[in-house]
Structure 1
Amino acid sequence: MQRLPERDNRENLTPQVALGKKVWEDNNCLGCHTLLGEGAYFAPELGNVYVRYGNSKEAIKGFITSRPVDGIPGRRSMPQFNMSEEELDAIAEFLKYMSEIDTNDWPPNVQG
């Protein structure tokens, strides 16, 4: 707790990040994903997705919008949420914010 102010990224908490958290909650993203280890284990951990996607909010938005409604046979797939551009920008900003929290290297950045 003594190190929390140094590690929690609070200086980057903006209204857009807060909107992204609301979009995250409204779409029940934790129903499938984990975020910093909390949530369901059906889909990938997203605490480091911004880094995994090359520090690109556009790549995150592209992934969210490109998911097929019916999925890929034999593979889990995200549903299409039909988010507005404002919602996409906000969720990408929220995931960027989350990735910049100093979590002492958790989750590990494992490719594969």
Structure 2
Amino acid sequence: MINTSESFFIAKKNIWEPVSHGISRQITGYNDNIMMVKVKFDKGAIGELHQHPHTQSSYVISGVFEITIDGQKQRLESGDTFLVNPDLIHGALCLEAGILLDVFNPIREDFLE
């Protein structure tokens, strides 16, 4: 089965979906191989430690985050990036409200359910 979104993403026409307390996401585009998602965090929100079989590359659009990957912590700010290899345990603590731009390979089918 082929998954795909529209070719163009108009931010104001797409909803932000609640994920957990203080965190919401907006799927911006995908096909079977790749998915891009904006994730908005309120100050103090926690992206709990978790793992998945997808490669994840993330760009800090705004805010300040403490990112944990495989037990290592790093403070990241606007313009910084991080890479999570498949199955590594990772999470985020939002120190100043902000937005991450996450890219996954392959697609996060669980986000489309």
More helix by share: 1
TM-score, with normalisation over the residues of structure 2? 0.24
TM-score, with normalisation over the residues of structure 1? 0.24
Higher relative contact order (CA 8 A, sep 6+): 1
More strand by share: 2
Bigger Rg, which one: 1
